[in-house]
Chain A
Amino acid sequence: MNYPDNKLNRRSFLKVSALAGGGMILSFNWLAGCKPNSSEILDMPKEWFRLNGYIKIGENGLITIMSPNPEGGQNVKTSMPMIVAEELDAVWKNVRVEQAPLDTENFTRQFIGGSQAIRIGWNALRTAGATARQLLINAAADQWKVPASEISTDSGFLIHIQSGKRAHFGEMASLAATLPIPGNVELKKVDQFKIIGTSQKNVDIQKIITGKPLFGIDYKKEGTLIAMIIHPPSFGMKLKSFDASEASKMPGIRGVFEIKSLRDDYVRTFFDTVTFTDLIAVVGTSTWEVLNAKKAIQAEYEPISAYVEKRDRFGSEESRIVPAGQENTESQAEKMRVASLKPQELRRDGNPEEAFKKASKVIEKTYTGPFLAHNCMEPMNFFAHVQGDKVECAGPLQKPELTEQALSVRLGIPVENIHIEMTRLGGGYGRRSYAHWLIEAAVISQKLNAPIKLIYTREDDMTSGIYRSRYQATYRAALDENNQLIGIHINAGGLPENPIYPDRFPAGAVENYLAEGWEVPSNITTGSFRAPRSNFMAAAEQSFLDEVAEVAGKDPIEFRLELLEKAKKNPVGKNNDYDPARYAEVIKLAREKSDWATNKEGIAKGFSAYFCHNSYAAQVLELKMENGQPLIEKVVSAVDCGIVVNPDAAKNLCEGAVVDGIGTALFGELTFEEGKPSKSNFDQYRMIRMKEAPKIIETYFVDNQIDPTGLGEPAYPPVFAALANSLYQGTGQRFYEQPFFKQLEI
């Protein structure tokens, strides 16, 4: 039997009470509206009984499960409650899902980030369900005067076989809500799962397809004003002065004023990244009026001086110098070249210098990746209403707990007086971890003493910072006379962030290994971007291994499997961060499902694989070249993320990762001229569209019953190199510099 550590949940379940009324808007199970036998679905109950932070049960047996984490398309709002429902032994069609607000007492890690929601939530979610199930059993035992051990559950019912007694969960819910929380509860075995592993529709789909208000930008309260900001046009500049005399008089305008989001002496936490803290706020009664007033404001800007930014990096304070100056894409490249000559050593195995000296062949290639904008389809926005020492906020964000702390410091209002409602995110991909717009919204609301909704225009969104860093990696390989890989040297860095993971494959598989990194300071702010750093390192590493395999005269898949076999049998060095056996398994699955060995007329194939965020992914991409254009016919993904909670939704996520990765590899790029982003909207920033997407995407999961790991990110990084490697097969050219469209001239 499986008894998880229940410590976390003891704390979470302290607040047990029988609460009447649902209060918030519920997400109805979509089946209720459209299945022919919808009469079987329960109506709304008269009363709800809360069994713990996650679960409320109505007297009629209807169940509400709180989804703790923000939802931005990863489908956690469906999959996390599925895990709770599984252990509760509920019937999914009688489960309704409600988005929890930020509530640090009842929930932990209400984050989007690192593909960790399911992995870290797994035990807590299961225990929440199992504990509530045990409470219901204990209640039935009390009422029926039979031992709890004789009571079983099945699909929302409590059953005592000996006496023939039977009751649905709702009948015991009011009593269960008053009983003490049981300690160690039993969890199901994997082969007992009835909900986990079945495909369930997105709980919000009916609202999405009928245009119901779901997103932050849709949020409205009586009297809400619309606010927008104006930020400096260039990095390295700051607001000097502005003339709002004309704008202030325009129809509907309630205020034009300067705001400061974070104070200069504030010690920033990890996600308090923001470039422009001094902004012009424009507030009015409607968006169109505010947009017009924005255009009428004349502002002057001046260059910044270099400054020291203090940061609290998860407990330890660090400071960094933010340089002055307005950067250009070309001058950045030169700075990166210079920095790469003086790297910091990050890992060394064997004697790499010696290996390269005695090598028969040395292969050296340099890969680059540009700044990228996240371009969430829902532009940045947030609702805030500051009333005295109380703050109400609502909107899309990835790290509400950390943002709440920053907001508390900024407003001087304790966190217990701040309520953050999490709306559905119209995309996140890392961008909404850096919620400076929430603070801006609250500061504007405080100033006007009114509820406001701050909306960024697309241009504000694309030009205000928090990009993927600009990266560069030089890979060197040493082959001996038998074409055995005897040395690897990686020199990688970025502006401003170093992308390298020194303990990642092929570390551990090569006798002589050297990983070095470097960073170039910049005043252009960057942050997490779907599979941070991995999204670039995978592209470089997996393109390079393809080329090394070719020089060594080996099949690219065989070549990787040989390396992984070495890492499994005789791992080199310490702290290798991957499991070679699982890595090899996922590669073999991709090989089998893609029919790798069979050549097809006119089809170029490329392979790539990567491990990140605790999961493994391998991909085969097939394309054909037509008039110099790549037409992507098919992508086969094999993924090992352990147990798959909701298979069809998991496939959707992997398909999206493939499309997103191909689009970013082909077109994604932001450059700078005198500190000014060269693109500000989708007429300039090219995004992948339906025509460029693969014709077919297939996704296969390794079935290994291992506890689940992340899925939002792992299928994304390998596709960059799968594309580069198949483009090589199709064109005879290697692709070293992203975005690839420049070399293809498409």
Chain B
Amino acid sequence: MAQYNLNINGKNLQVDVDANTPMLWVLRDHLDMVGTKFGCGIAQCGACTIHLDGNAVRSCQLPISAVEDSKITTIEGLSEKGDHPVQQAWMEHDVPQCGYCQAGQIMTAAALLQQNPSPSDEEIENAMNGNICRCGTYLRIKAAVKTASQKL
């Protein structure tokens, strides 16, 4: 066990955990931030996507010891009032069905638009291809990413 200082959603937080603990479980178990979801544990489904210094990463494969001074953003901190352009677009298109994968989808989409504000269809598909939606809402996700890109 070791003490770690983290910067999550603009706040400085401390946790005392094993160095190998993935950020997914630090968030969910130790910080009670359960918006980041467990899907596969092997970085194959994207449900656990968070931002590490603005880049979309799979938190299930990110040990806390590798975070160091990086700034972490989770779905809870993407916007203060749930009104990030990507979140608004998700509402407009009423994207979710079961909704479980959507936090990860939104975090991947927000990172994409941060780096590429006007992605082509192909660029959207490439960026979003690592996020599985078992309900099959891919078309609405794609449409929502485009809508968000127009509003940025």
The reply to whether the CB of B11 lies closer than 8 angstroms to some CB of chain A is: no
The reply to whether the CB of B137 lies closer than 8 angstroms to some CB of chain A is: yes
User: CB < 8 Å: which of B22, B78, B99 contacts A424?
Assistant: B99
The reply to whether A379 and B39 form a contact with Cβ atoms under 8 Å apart is yes
The reply to whether B29 and A377 form a contact with Cβ atoms under 8 Å apart is no
Contact mask for chain B residues 95-128; partner A; CB cutoff 8 A; 1 contact, 0 none: 1111111110010000000000000000011101
Chain B, residue nearest A252 (CB): B18
The reply to whether B87 and A660 form a contact with Cβ atoms under 8 Å apart is no
Contacts of A697 in B (CB 8 A): 139
Among the interface residues B18, B40, B91, B100, which one has the most CB atoms of the partner chain A within 10 A? B100
The reply to whether B100 and A682 form a contact with Cβ atoms under 8 Å apart is no
The reply to whether the CB of B62 lies closer than 8 angstroms to some CB of chain A is: no
The reply to whether B35 and A457 form a contact with Cβ atoms under 8 Å apart is no
Contacts of B141 in A (CB 8 A): 690
| Shortest Cβ gap from B128 to chain A (Å) | 5
The reply to whether the CB of A574 lies closer than 8 angstroms to some CB of chain B is: no
How many residues of B are in contact with the other chain, CB < 8 A?
64
Chain A residues 696 to 717 lying within 8 A of chain B, measured CB to CB, are 696-697
How far is A424 from B19 in the complex, measured between Cα atoms in Å? 33
Among the interface residues A210, A377, A693, which one has the most CB atoms of the partner chain B within 10 A? A377
Contacts of B126 in A (CB 8 A): 691
Contacts of B75 in A (CB 8 A): 209-211
Chain B, residue nearest A659 (CB): B136
Chain B, residue nearest A458 (CB): B40
Chain A residues 642 to 697 lying within 8 A of chain B, measured CB to CB, are 648-649, 652-653, 655-660, 663, 681-683, 687-691, 693-694, 696-697
The reply to whether the CB of B21 lies closer than 8 angstroms to some CB of chain A is: yes
The reply to whether the CB of A251 lies closer than 8 angstroms to some CB of chain B is: yes
The reply to whether the CB of B151 lies closer than 8 angstroms to some CB of chain A is: no
The reply to whether B32 and A652 form a contact with Cβ atoms under 8 Å apart is no
- Classify the secondary structure of B's interface with A: loop
Contacts of B41 in A (CB 8 A): 457-458, 681
Chain B, residue nearest A654 (CB): B136
How far is A405 from B33 in the complex, measured between Cα atoms in Å? 34
Contacts of B34 in A (CB 8 A): 211, 213, 217-218, 220
How far is A681 from B131 in the complex, measured between Cα atoms in Å? 14
User: CB < 8 Å: which of B35, B132, B135 contacts A682?
Assistant: B132
How far is A687 from B47 in the complex, measured between Cα atoms in Å? 14
Chain B, residue nearest A663 (CB): B136
Contact mask for chain A residues 201-212; partner B; CB cutoff 8 A; 1 contact, 0 none: 110111011111
The reply to whether B138 and A379 form a contact with Cβ atoms under 8 Å apart is no
The reply to whether the CB of A226 lies closer than 8 angstroms to some CB of chain B is: yes
| Shortest Cβ gap from A327 to chain B (Å) | 26
The reply to whether the CB of B152 lies closer than 8 angstroms to some CB of chain A is: no
How far is A351 from B74 in the complex, measured between Cα atoms in Å? 67
Contacts of B20 in A (CB 8 A): 288
The reply to whether A694 and B139 form a contact with Cβ atoms under 8 Å apart is yes
Contact mask for chain A residues 351-363; partner B; CB cutoff 8 A; 1 contact, 0 none: 0000000000000
Chain B, residue nearest A226 (CB): B29
Contacts of B137 in A (CB 8 A): 652, 655-656, 659
The reply to whether B140 and A286 form a contact with Cβ atoms under 8 Å apart is no
How far is A331 from B119 in the complex, measured between Cα atoms in Å? 50
Contacts of B135 in A (CB 8 A): 73, 427, 656, 660
Contacts of A217 in B (CB 8 A): 34, 37-38
Instruction: Decide: A688 near B47, CB < 8 A? Known: A212-B35, A682-B42.
Output: no
User: CB < 8 Å: which of B21, B83, B136 contacts A688?
Assistant: B136
| Shortest Cβ gap from A165 to chain B (Å) | 39
Chain B residues 46 to 66 lying within 8 A of chain A, measured CB to CB, are 47
The reply to whether the CB of A75 lies closer than 8 angstroms to some CB of chain B is: yes
The reply to whether A215 and B100 form a contact with Cβ atoms under 8 Å apart is yes
The reply to whether the CB of B72 lies closer than 8 angstroms to some CB of chain A is: no
The reply to whether the CB of A34 lies closer than 8 angstroms to some CB of chain B is: yes
| Shortest Cβ gap from A29 to chain B (Å) | 12
The reply to whether B22 and A660 form a contact with Cβ atoms under 8 Å apart is no
How far is A720 from B64 in the complex, measured between Cα atoms in Å? 44
The reply to whether the CB of B44 lies closer than 8 angstroms to some CB of chain A is: yes
The reply to whether A377 and B98 form a contact with Cβ atoms under 8 Å apart is yes
Contacts of A681 in B (CB 8 A): 40-42, 44
The reply to whether the CB of A81 lies closer than 8 angstroms to some CB of chain B is: no
How far is A287 from B74 in the complex, measured between Cα atoms in Å? 19
| Shortest Cβ gap from B118 to chain A (Å) | 18
Chain A, residue nearest B34 (CB): A218
Contacts of B129 in A (CB 8 A): 689-691
Contacts of B88 in A (CB 8 A): 34
The reply to whether B45 and A682 form a contact with Cβ atoms under 8 Å apart is yes
The reply to whether B133 and A377 form a contact with Cβ atoms under 8 Å apart is yes
How far is A226 from B21 in the complex, measured between Cα atoms in Å? 15
The reply to whether A377 and B36 form a contact with Cβ atoms under 8 Å apart is no
User: CB < 8 Å: which of A72, A201, A660, A691 contacts B136?
Assistant: A660
Contact mask for chain A residues 264-300; partner B; CB cutoff 8 A; 1 contact, 0 none: 0000000000000000000000111100000000000
Chain B, residue nearest A78 (CB): B94
The reply to whether the CB of B17 lies closer than 8 angstroms to some CB of chain A is: yes
| Shortest Cβ gap from A372 to chain B (Å) | 12
The reply to whether A211 and B94 form a contact with Cβ atoms under 8 Å apart is no
Chain A, residue nearest B130 (CB): A689
User: CB < 8 Å: which of B74, B91, B101 contacts A206?
Assistant: B91
Contacts of A226 in B (CB 8 A): 29
The reply to whether B87 and A209 form a contact with Cβ atoms under 8 Å apart is yes
Beyond A427-B100, A655-B136, A659-B137: 17 further Cβ-contacts under 8 Å?
A75-B97, A204-B99, A205-B99, A206-B82, A209-B102, A209-B106, A211-B34, A211-B36, A215-B37, A217-B34, A218-B34, A289-B18, A376-B134, A455-B38, A649-B94, A656-B136, A690-B128
22 A-B pairs with CB atoms under 8 Å apart are A30-B91, A206-B82, A210-B75, A210-B78, A210-B87, A211-B76, A220-B32, A286-B25, A288-B17, A378-B37, A378-B39, A424-B99, A458-B42, A649-B94, A652-B94, A663-B136, A682-B132, A683-B42, A688-B138, A691-B125, A693-B136, A697-B139
